[in-house]
Amino acid sequence: MTATFSSLHSFISRPRGRCALLAGAIALGTPVPAQVLPPVHENVVVTATLSPEEESELGAATTVIDRKRIEESGATTVLDLLRLVPGLDVVRSGGDGAVTSIFLRGANSTQTLVLVDGVRVNSPYFSGYDFSALTTENVERVEVVRGPFSSLYGSDAMGGVVQVFTRPATQAPAAEGALEAGSAALRGGSVFLSSGEGPLSATASYRHASVDGDRANSDWAENNGSVRLEASLGERIRAALEGSVLDGESGVPGPVGAETPFARGTFREDRVALPISFEPAKGHDASFVLAHVRSRPTFRDPSDPLFGSSDTDARSLEARAADRFTVGGQRLTAFASWEKWMVTASGASGPFIDGEASYLWGAGIQDSVHFVSRVFATLGLGADRHSDFGGAGSPRSPPPGSPSTPAGRCAPPRGPRSGPLRSASSTSRSSGTLIWSPNDPGRTRSASSGT
DSSP string spanning 85-143?
Answer: STTEEEEESSSTT--EEEEETT--GGGEEEEETTEE-S-TTTSS--GGG-BSTTEEEEE
Instruction: Give the per-residue pLDDT at 2.
Output: 33
Q: Counting every residue, how long is the chain? A: 451
What CATH number did the domain enclosing 127 receive?
A: 2.40.170
Residues 6+ apart with CB under 8 A from 41: none
- The answer to whether residue 126 is domain-embedded is yes
pLDDT averaged over every residue in the chain = 77
At 253-293, the pLDDT tens digits run 988 888 999 999 999 999 999 999 999 888 888 999 999 99
- Spell out a b/e string for 89-102, using b for 16 or more CB atoms within 10 Å of the CB, else e: ebbbebbbbbbbbb
| Residue range of the domain that includes 300 | 8-33+59-450
Pairwise CA distance, residues 75 & 150, whole Å: 30
**Distance of CA 206 to CAs 136, 190, 227, 270, Å?**
11, 6, 9, 14
Which amino acid appears at position 323 of this protein?
D
- What are 387-418's pLDDT values in tens digits? 988 888 877 665 433 333 333 333 333 444 44
Closest CA to 109 of 132, 76, 138: 132
Residue 52 domain flag: no
Q: Does 113 map to a domain?
A: yes
pLDDT for position 451: 44
Residue type, 147: G
Q: Is residue 40 part of a domain?
A: no
pLDDT band at residue 30 using 50, 70 and 90 as cut-offs: very low
Identify whether 39 is part of a domain: no
Res 236 pLDDT > 80? yes
Q: Is residue 49 part of a domain?
A: no
**Mean pLDDT of the region 79-84:** 91
**Domains contained in the chain, number:** 1
The stretch 290-308 carries a mean pLDDT of 93
The rounded distance, in Å, linking the Cα atoms of 411 and 394 is 8
pTM: 0.79
